[in-house]
A = this chain, B = another copy of it.
């Protein structure tokens, strides 16, 4: 019997095959929209190859989920759920992926996972009416229903909440899941930063189910050490590269300073639509859009790293974790130094990083050793090393435009800590 299918070529995993419900899902507007969302926000400003998108990453996660399902010999139904969840786990991403999440969390108290949930459950639509009319789409929600897959089950997996079958959630959302496996190696490929070349095949081969949980066989300790180090190195050298961060801060500030804007609208935007929206606005928003187009970025005027700071200063700076205090401080700079609104940005990244990326230093992995589950941490000092690495390596950074750099630099300490 001939089964209709489609093969898509991926530079990382080779041919990826779709059939059945997946053949329809990849045509859904929520999925196709993702090729307009860059995986790494503004990383291409530093690593010019990094233009890859959430679409490829979603395909890659689907591929790995399917492979894991084969290796673990899951039941047919479970496989379908896991692969669906992997394919759909990122459909709620707004423009430039993680870039705007802090603002959204602050103003709406939602993040991309909540939006993913809303989309899967059919409670929210990613397209506007004009688009809807023209393309008459079957949404993800429609397709899941048509194939008798319960959207709620998918959401549970994506959130890692699968009580009865804990391993399913762990495949999607745990210390090492298919999402991370794909992005570590993919981001490495497109940035050209070799740290992320991990041995995914070997890792998957060491997976095992035990007492309803996902675990790694003892012989897999080495490959887990390797993956955790790779992830940590990718964070410090790519995801938290200072220049990338500067571009993200600029865009966030442009959004933050917009009047009467509905954050939900921004979330629907693709990367390009957001930038073009900014261009149509005035002054600061337009300025930021043009600056990003030509890579005329703000510059560091002041930076403090953890190692150069005494306890008192440290405490003082940590207060700026609070976004409202931070904004007030930025305004203080602007007032005192007569700098136009939006041109001083203070970054205190540590808390934010751990909110948006709770898995960054997670090492909660079970090792199956002679029939018993033990903690990965018992096997290697690499586990604690990964947890205590400093990412990012600055405690606070102040950026501004070229023309105000010197004055901000000189006054930074006095204004910041007064």
Contacts and interface: CB of A to CB of B under 8 A. Distances in A.
A202 interface: yes
Contacts of A168: none
A135 B293 CA distance: 10
Given A229-B226, A382-B389, A286 B130 contact: yes
Interface string A29-68: 1001101100000001101110111011001000000000
A10 B49 contact: yes
B290 A130 contact: yes
Contact of A135 (B130, B197, B229, B294): B294
Q: Is the interface of A mostly helix, strand, loop or mixed?
A: helix
Interface string A260-283: 000000000011110110000000
Nearest to A271: B272
Q: Which residue among A51, A199, A270 has the maximum number of chain B CB atoms within 10 Å of its CB? A: A51
B296 A135 contact: yes
Interface in A288-324: 290-291, 293-296, 307
A134 B290 contact: yes
A14 B380 contact: no
Given A272-B276, A290-B134, A384 B382 contact: no
Nearest to A136: B296
A342 B32 CA distance: 24
A198 interface: yes
B53 A11 contact: no
21 contacts: A9-B47, A9-B193, A9-B202, A10-B49, A10-B192, A11-B49, A11-B190, A12-B49, A14-B192, A27-B295, A35-B44, A51-B51, A51-B53, A130-B286, A134-B287, A135-B296, A195-B226, A222-B237, A225-B229, A226-B229, A385-B385
